Amino acid sequence: MTEGNHPNPDTPTDQASPDFWQACIDQLAQELPEQQFQTWIKPLTAQVSDDLSKVTLFVANRFKLDWIRAQYSARLALLMERLTGQAVQIELALAPREIIARSQPTVKPAHPTGIEAPTSAADARPYEPLKSRINTALTFEALVEGSANRMARAAAMHVAGMPGHLYNPLFIYGGVGLGKTHLMHAVGNQLLADRPGAKVLYIHAEQFVTDVVKAYQRKAFDEFKERYHSLDLLLIDDVQFFANKERTQEEFFNAFEALLAKKSHIVMTSDTYPKGLADIHERLVSRFDSGLTVAIEPPELEMRVAILINKAQVEGIVMPEEVAFFVAKNVRSNVRELEGALRKILAYSRFNQKEISIQLAREALRDLLSIQNRQISVENIQKTVADYYKIKIADMYSKKRPASIARPRQIAMYLAKELTQKSLPEIGELFGGRDHTTVLHAVRKIGGERQQITELNQQLHVLEQTLKG
C-alpha cells in the first residue's frame, strides 16, 4: 500500500469502478464489527482505475491514514485481489476538503480491539452526557414476526406501551443473532416516540462494567448513580458478562433496586435463561427471574424467507422467492447469518452485473455451503447426540424403545431435519430403515416441546452450536 499526495478525484473512471468499490464495502460490512466499519471504512472514498489494477483511497486526516494503513491495508489488498483475480495496487491519500465536506459524519473512532483510540483531554470525562444510544432503524415495524419470536415481541411491545407495569424486568434470552438486541432497541424507539423526554439508555453489559471501574478509580459514584438510577428505561445487553465481577454485580443490584422502586423499566438479554447463568449472585438471578422471561428461537423456514425478502427490499432489491427459499434452507442458524448471506449475494450480483438467481446465490455462498456440507451430516448428528446423552451410536439404528434411547433418537431425527437437506424418507433410512412418518412424528414432537420446555431448548442449542463448530 502506497501513499499519494492528492490525485484528482474527478479523473474519469470505468462504469464498473463504483460497483467494484461498493462490492468491497458490502463485503467488509459483513466481515467487520459495525463500529469498526462505520468508523474506518465507510467514510472512505475511492478512485478506481479503468482496469481495476489501482485503487486510491481518500482519508480525512493523517491519523486515520496511518491507522488504516497499519490495520486494514493487508485485508483490503487481499479482498480486492479476491474480487478481481489480480493484484491491486492500493494508494492512500489525504482527501481534498471538498471530499471531506461531502462525507457523512461518523461515530467516535475506536480501536478495533475494543481499546479506545487516543482521545483529547476534553474527552477524559468520567461519563458522556446521557445519550440513549438507540438505533433508530431497529423498530417493531422492521422486525419480521414469526413463531420463533412472537411471544418475546408481544411482551416487548407491552413494555414499550406501559413501562413500569407488568413484565418488569423483561428478560429475553436466546442464541447469537436471533434479534434480542433488535427487540430492545424497538422498545426504546417506541417509548421515545411516545415520550420524547423519557430518559432511555441502551448499553452492553461490558460498558456497564467499564463504568463501574471508572467510578471506583475516580471516586465518582455520585455521577454513576445519577446516570443509572435516574433512568426511565434501562436496556442492557448480554448480562452473562457480569459473571465473576463482584463489584459490578453489586452496583447493578443497587441500580436494579433503585429503578424498580421508582417504577422504571428494565429490559435485559442473555444467551441463557436466568437460572442457567454461571457465576452470578443468586440474589441477582432471582431479580432477573422475577418479571417475565421469554426465549427467542432460531427462525423457522418461512420466517427466514420473509426476513430475506424484507431485507432485500430495504436495499432496494427485489429478491425472487425461489432464491429466498434456497438461501433460507441453507442458512438456518440465525438472522445475522442470513443478513451476511444476503450482503454477499447483493455484492456478488452488483460486482458481476448479474441478475439474482439460485445459481448466482450458489456461487456467492459457495464457501459457506462447502463448509456446511462438510461439517453437518446425519452421521455426525447421530454421533454428537449419542455422545451428549451417553448412549451408543448403535442405539440410533436399533429397534430398542426405552425412553433413555428413544428420546435422544427423536432429538437426532429433529436435528437431522433442521440441519441437513435430507428428506424425511432419507433420514428414516439412516435411522435403521424407519418409516418417514416416524421421523415426522419425532420432528413435530421435539419442535413443539422445544417451545415449551426450557431445558430441552437449551440442550438443543448446545447441540446445534457443537455441530456448527
User: Where along the chain do the CATH 3.30.300.180 domains lie?
Assistant: 2-106
CATH superfamily, with its number, for domain 2-106: DnaA, N-terminal domain (3.30.300.180)
pLDDT, tens digit, 9 for 90 and up, residues 139-188 = 999 888 888 889 999 999 999 999 988 899 999 998 778 889 999 999 99
pLDDT, tens digit, 9 for 90 and up, residues 8-35 = 444 333 444 567 888 888 888 877 777 6
User: In this predicted model, which residue has the larger pLDDT, 120 or 412?
Assistant: 412
Query: Which CATH topology does 376-467 take?
Result: Chromosomal Replication Initiator Protein Dnaa; Chain: A; (1.10.1750)
| Contact assessment for residue 56 and residue 4, using Cβ atoms and an 8 Å cutoff | yes
User: Where along the chain do the CATH 1.10.1750.10 domains lie?
Assistant: 376-467
pLDDT for 109 equals 40
**448-467: average pLDDT:** 87
Distance from C-alpha of 2 to C-alpha of 9, rounded to nearest angstrom: 17
The CATH number given to 150-295 is: 3.40.50.300
pTM of the predicted model as reported, rounded to 2 decimal places: 0.55
Distance from C-alpha of 466 to C-alpha of 463, rounded to nearest angstrom: 5
Distance from C-alpha of 351 to C-alpha of 361, rounded to nearest angstrom: 13
pLDDT for 257 equals 93
pLDDT for 421 equals 73
* Paired residues of 265 in beta bridges: 233
pLDDT score of 401 more than 90: no
User: Where along the chain do the CATH 3.40.50.300 domains lie?
Assistant: 150-295
Distance from C-alpha of 398 to C-alpha of 407, rounded to nearest angstrom: 13
Banded model confidence at residue 371, pLDDT cuts 50, 70, 90 = low
pLDDT, tens digit, 9 for 90 and up, residues 255-276 = 999 999 999 999 999 988 888 8
pLDDT for 298 equals 79
Distance from C-alpha of 45 to C-alpha of 42, rounded to nearest angstrom: 8
How many other CB atoms sit within 10 Å of the CB of residue 282?
A: 8
pLDDT score of 110 more than 80: no
3 state SS of 149: coil
Q: What are the angstrom distances between the C-alpha of 235 and each of 135, 178, 203?
A: 12, 17, 6
Distance from C-alpha of 30 to C-alpha of 44, rounded to nearest angstrom: 17
How many other CB atoms sit within 10 Å of the CB of residue 351?
A: 20
Q: Which of 47-56, 119-128, 233-242, 412-421 has the highest mean pLDDT?
A: 233-242
Mean pLDDT value across the chain: 82
pLDDT score of 230 more than 70: yes
pLDDT, tens digit, 9 for 90 and up, residues 317-330 = 888 999 999 898 88
**204-209: average pLDDT:** 91
User: Where along the chain do the CATH 1.10.8.60 domains lie?
Assistant: 301-374
CA angle at 131 for the pair 204 and 212, rounded to the nearest 5°: 45
The pairing of strands 292-295 and 200-204 is unpaired
Distance from C-alpha of 365 to C-alpha of 372, rounded to nearest angstrom: 11
Q: What percent of the chain has pLDDT over 70?
A: 87
Phi-psi region of 45 (alpha: psi -120 to 50; beta: other; left: phi over 0): beta
pLDDT for 8 equals 44
**120-130: average pLDDT:** 44
In CATH terms, is domain 301-374 a member of 3.40.109.10? Answer: no
pLDDT-wise least confident of 1-15, 387-401, 408-422, 449-463: 1-15
Q: What b/e sequence results for 211-247 when a residue is b if at least 16 CB atoms lie within 10 Å of its CB, and e otherwise?
A: bbeebeeeebeebbeebbbebbbbbbbbbbbbeebee
Distance from C-alpha of 256 to C-alpha of 278, rounded to nearest angstrom: 19
pLDDT, tens digit, 9 for 90 and up, residues 403-420 = 889 999 999 999 999 888
